[in-house]
Amino acid sequence: MRRSPKETDEAASITHRRGLLLGGAMTAMFAVLGARMRYLSVEQADQFKLLAEENRISIRLIPPARGLIQDRNGKLIAGNEQNYRVVITREDAGDVQAVLAKLAHVIPLTADDLDRTEKEMKRSSPFAPITVADRLSWEDLSKVALNSPSLPGVSPEVGLSRIYPRDTDFAHVVGYVGPVSERDLEGQESPDPLLTIPKFQIGKIGVERWMEDALRGKAGTRRIEVNAVGRVMRELERQEGDPGADIRLTIDAGVQNFAQARLGEESAAAVVMDVTNGDIIAIASAPSFDPNLFVRGISHTDYNALMENDHRPLANKTVQGVYPPGSTFKMVTALAAIKAGLITVDTKVRCPGYLEVGGRRFHCWKRAGHGAVDLERSLSESCDVFYYDIAQKVGIDKIAEMGRELGLGIRHDIPMSAIADGIMPNKQWKLERHKADWRIGDTINASIGQGYVLTSPLQLAVMTARLATGRAVQPRLVRSIDGKEPPVAEAPELDVAEAALRKIRLGMFAVMNSQRGTAYSSRIAEETLVWAGKTGTSQVRNITAAERARGVISNDQLPWNRRDHALFVGFAPFENPRYAVSVVVEHGGGGSTAAAPIARDIMLRALHDDLPPLSAYPSSQRNRIESMFERLPLRDAEGRAPAASRA
């Protein structure tokens, strides 16, 4: 059917309107697309260029150089050495197992190395570089560099690794570093980004641990360009971080080495303190170990050898070890009684060889007794009964107060690991610890440094420094940080009468210089350096009445671990004290025979700032001393170990 002209006009009009609408819509759409294209290509050009850049640019952290640790004279104790290593980045490597397999054909890698690397990559960010092998030779590093086109994500690097050039001398003081562990990160809400770098090393014990924040430094960054397969093409930008602070200790490396050598393979400890300011000049624990083994990755054989050694080389006996102080404690008991007004410096006590209390006999070390003794002679000849008697009068609480006044039973704040508080017991302590009342026998035992009393070699050195000066000297191990030395305030005076201290010092002087003194054989022959001291012997086993009746078994007839501990404390010079020393020899027997000779040698080394001259010793001992010095494994002036040790 044919349309009428009117219908044709209406259809044309509708078609025209629809065409206009469709054309308008299409124009609008193209306008929007054009505007978007202009926005993306012109206004957002820089942003998309940056995103494209980031697809080929990687930003990596640069570990800073760890701060150096030096002795008081600037001699290196802990430093850094160049270390060649190979790292792999998971994001850039692609097929990690295939790349590691290729790498194993280039440099020697064990199955354990490959397994460890894969485990670390799974635990770490895909952007984090994982160390596959370190301490490589230059030849192996060169092989990796030459084969890098076929090793995507693998990069050879030159870094720094910790080294301890004086190895065993400072192992217990400085400690060592090791890889960050999960335990190290516990409790840190926002850990330093450096700690997330696999195998990044931080301090584990000693100064390395307790001064970690200062030694670590701040990370740097570098921007590198990588190609499509992850190979590093070039370094675009580098911003170095801040190296860690250099720390200078109060210790004298020469005295430390001498003390360590003089202790030898004994299970022993020695501490030397400057009594004028508390500087620790030497703090040696024997036997020691080489901390470099832990940095490089100690073998099971080496670690088991350290753990199974009954002399406990890993334990720092200077601050961690606590021992009954024996007769080195007698000065504490005497001062407590004098301060309480219960005795005077001239009080005498009769010693028949024992004191009977409540039907029990407490024996003096001298079976026949000492007769009538005063304070000075009781110290010189180490009469036990004198202290049994006065301890009953003064009581344990006042003895404990004096012990703490002299630095015992207190944790001294120095940057070393596992510092023990020791035990300076009183009535309340026993009630809380053992749920039992304090007994008079406990007081008598404590009066001569036995029973519950436990002290560390560091505490004994502090006690001796305070006796020598009459001031509450505090030990100090860090001399300066980045060249800045904090001021040392003068120590306050002890709450002890000077007359009482003077009498104590005279008694300690007689110990060394009276022919009947317990340490007369360890006297110093130089008149300007004569010294004062006190021997101590602490029992580690009970002596039965039956054994005492038939004769006490001598130490040399007992197994090593059942022998008495040997102790000694002293200061020198007597008239103008400079240093205090304490020595503990585990199961060494008598303090006069085992500990005092070691203490004298170490004291003379500190006073002379060199190997002690033979003239400092009694003439009858000089040949023996000279022979002993020749056998000591001492370092040379440059800190190098003897040839036998280096071999």
The residues annotated with a catalytic role in the active site are 327
Of 127, 131, 109, residue with least CA distance to 119: 131
* Three-state DSSP state, 395: coil
Taking each helix axis as running N to C, give the angle between helix 396-405 and helix 440-447, from 0 to 180 degrees, rounded to the nearest 10. Answer: 30
User: Is the bond leading into 126 cis (omega within 30 degrees of zero)?
Assistant: no
Measured CA to CA, the distance from residue 8 to residue 12 in angstroms comes to: 6
Query: Which two tokens mark 495?
Result: 């709450």
Query: Residue 619 to residues 274, 462, 509, 523: CA-CA distances in angstroms?
Result: 29, 32, 20, 12
- In this structure, are residues 461 and 571 in contact, taking their beta carbons and an 8 Å threshold? no
Measured CA to CA, the distance from residue 273 to residue 277 in angstroms comes to: 9
Cα of first residue to Cα of last residue in the chain, in angstroms, is 119
Measured CA to CA, the distance from residue 250 to residue 272 in angstroms comes to: 11
Taking the CB of residue 473, how many other CB atoms lie within 10 A of it? 27
Measured CA to CA, the distance from residue 343 to residue 348 in angstroms comes to: 9
Residues 6+ apart with CB under 8 A from 169: 253, 256, 257, 260, 284, 288, 635
Measured CA to CA, the distance from residue 131 to residue 201 in angstroms comes to: 12
Helix-then-strand count for the chain, H and E? 25, 20
The helix (run of H) or strand (run of E) holding residue 241 is none
Of 581, 628, 623, residue with least CA distance to 600: 581
> 476-497 in b/e burial notation, b at 16+ Cβ within 10 A?
bbbbbbeeeeeeeeebeebebe
